[in-house]
Homo-oligomer: A and B are copies of this chain.
Amino acid sequence: MIVQMKRGATREEVDHVVERAKSLGFGVQLNIGTETTVIAILGSDTGKTPSDIFAVLPGVEAVSRIMKPYKLASREFHPQSSLIKINGCEVGGNRLVVMAGPCAVESERQLFDTAATVKKAGGMVLRGGAFKPRTSPFSFQGLEEKGLELLGEARKKYGLLVVTEVLQIEQIEKVAKYADILQVGARNMQNFALLKELSRTDHPILLKRGLAATVTEWLTAADYLLAEGNQRVILCERGIRTFEDSIRFTMDISSIPVIKRFSHLPVLVDPSHATGHAAFVPAVAKAAIAAGADGLLIEIHPKPETALVDGLQSLSFPAFEQLMADLAPIAKAVGRQM
């Protein structure tokens, strides 16, 4: 951490900062400039120390953090890219992983038809919401347990893995029975109580980016999942909130190379939530693979125009099959395969 003193800061004020740093076990080096004094606070744990501890001291102008606040998720801590193995499927490897399915599980017929389509098109994971976080309390909230059971049956019948969202701690055990991967939704990215509990399970976790979270905060949230021992964490970019109003969210495509540089965790992209509109999903999906994403999370529906939730962003089966075909040469162009 770098503490810049105000012009005219007194010797006592400088000493105060130095003592505070030493009392916390940090090393200190002083740069007494002609105009201002700058104090470098050194040590391996400065990333985890709130900068406020120094910023509040008298005579301090500003504190700049140099070390990033996340540790376990960082590439410095774990230089090799993580390869997440899940019952025969690998996320982060050469083969791209496509997770597809309906936003909400609605019926056996809907889910099984979808699963068959995912399987046939080369997807490895079936997604589907059983518990739905809806903006309004008057909207459809999901089939809940019945939805989980259907996912479990589809998993067996079609030989797919299942990913579905966990909304609260009490649901973890139940959901873990039917799902191979537990999803933490964007609205829960900083539900730290939930993250801590999930860190104690041995199920892989798909952590979606919060819609106003920086990449740094996202990776710090991943630290919560890694802190208690769970090592199988997959990130999922799903767009951030900006002023642009032609789409639902703004897909942050550069987060892919940023994460690849600063973290060892694999990262998927969800073009369906990022755009909110099926017409824009293929372009964003292709861009994600070209940018180096390790896979996709895509919403598909046998009849988007009757979907109970998010029909506008769901691809029809033919559109999904076309997209899978179109992605193959792009994957190959970046040295990956579908």
Q: How many copies of this chain are found per oligomer?
A: 4
Q: A311 and B66: CB pair below 8 A?
A: no
Chain B contacts of A312 at CB under 8 A? Answer: 52, 55-56
Q: Chain B residue with minimal CB distance to A53?
A: B311
Chain B, Cβ-Cβ closest to A274: B254
Nearest residue in B to A310 (C-beta to C-beta)?
Answer: B52
Instruction: Judge whether A258 and B243 touch: CB under 8 Å.
Output: no
Known: A52-B312, A242-B242, A257-B279. A134 touches B192 (CB 8 A): yes
**Docked-complex contact A56 and B212, CB < 8 angstroms:** no
Q: Which of these, B55, B66, B309, B333, contacts A4 with CB under 8 Å? A: B66
Which residues does chain B contribute within 8 Å of A291, judged by CB atoms?
283-284, 286-287, 290
Instruction: Pick the residue among B27, B64, B191, B254 that contacts A280 (CB under 8 A).
Output: B254
Partner-contacting stretch, out of A80-88, A118-126, A220-228: A220-228
Complex Cα distance, B168 from A71, in Å, reads 26
Interface pair B190/A135, CB less than 8 Å apart: yes
- CB proximity to B under 8 Å, residues A58-85: 58, 62, 64, 66, 69-71, 76
Most chain B CB neighbours (cut-off 10 Å) among A2, A196, A216, A260: A2
User: 30 pairs across A/B with beta carbons < 8 Å?
Assistant: A2-B40, A2-B64, A38-B40, A50-B309, A52-B307, A55-B311, A56-B278, A56-B307, A71-B138, A133-B192, A135-B220, A136-B220, A136-B223, A167-B192, A187-B191, A214-B245, A215-B244, A216-B246, A242-B250, A243-B243, A250-B250, A251-B254, A253-B284, A256-B287, A261-B280, A286-B290, A290-B330, A326-B333, A326-B334, A329-B332
